[in-house]
Chains A and B, each alone.
Chain A
Amino acid sequence: QVQLVQSGSELKKPGASVKVSCTASGHTFTGYTMSWVRQAPGQGLEWMGWINTNSGNPTYAQGFTGRFVFSLDTSVSTAYLQISSLKADDTAIYYCARDTGSLQHWGQGTLVTVSS
Chain B
Amino acid sequence: DIQMTQSPSTLSASVGDRVTITCRASQSISSWLAWYQQKPGKAPKVLIYKASSLESGVPSRFSGSGSGTEFTLTISSLQPDDFATYFCQQYSSFRTFGQGTKVEIK
Query: Which residues on A are within 8 Å of B, measured CB to CB?
Result: 35, 37, 44-47, 50, 59, 61-62, 95, 97, 99, 101-104, 106-109
CB of B89 closer than 8 Å to a CB of A: yes
Which residues of B lie under 8 Å from residue A101 when comparing CB positions? 32, 34, 49-50, 91
User: How many angstroms from the CA of A89 to the CA of B28 in the assembled complex?
Assistant: 32
> A59 — nearest CB in chain B belongs to which residue?
B94
Interface pairs A-B: 8 shortest CB-CB: A102-B34, A106-B43, A102-B49, A47-B95, A101-B91, A45-B97, A44-B100, A44-B99
* B89 with A103: CB separation less than 8 A: yes
> A49 — nearest CB in chain B belongs to which residue?
B94
CB of B74 closer than 8 Å to a CB of A: no
Which residues of B lie under 8 Å from residue A59 when comparing CB positions? 94
* A103 with B46: CB separation less than 8 A: yes
* A44 with B95: CB separation less than 8 A: no
Which residues of B lie under 8 Å from residue A35 when comparing CB positions? 95
Q: A102-B46, A104-B55 are in contact. Are A61 and B100 (CB under 8 A)?
A: no
Which residues of B lie under 8 Å from residue A61 when comparing CB positions? 94-95
CB of B96 closer than 8 Å to a CB of A: yes
Q: Which of B44, B49, B97 contacts A106 (CB 8 A)?
A: B44
* A46 with B97: CB separation less than 8 A: yes
Contact with A along B40-53 (1 / 0, CB 8 A): 00011110011000
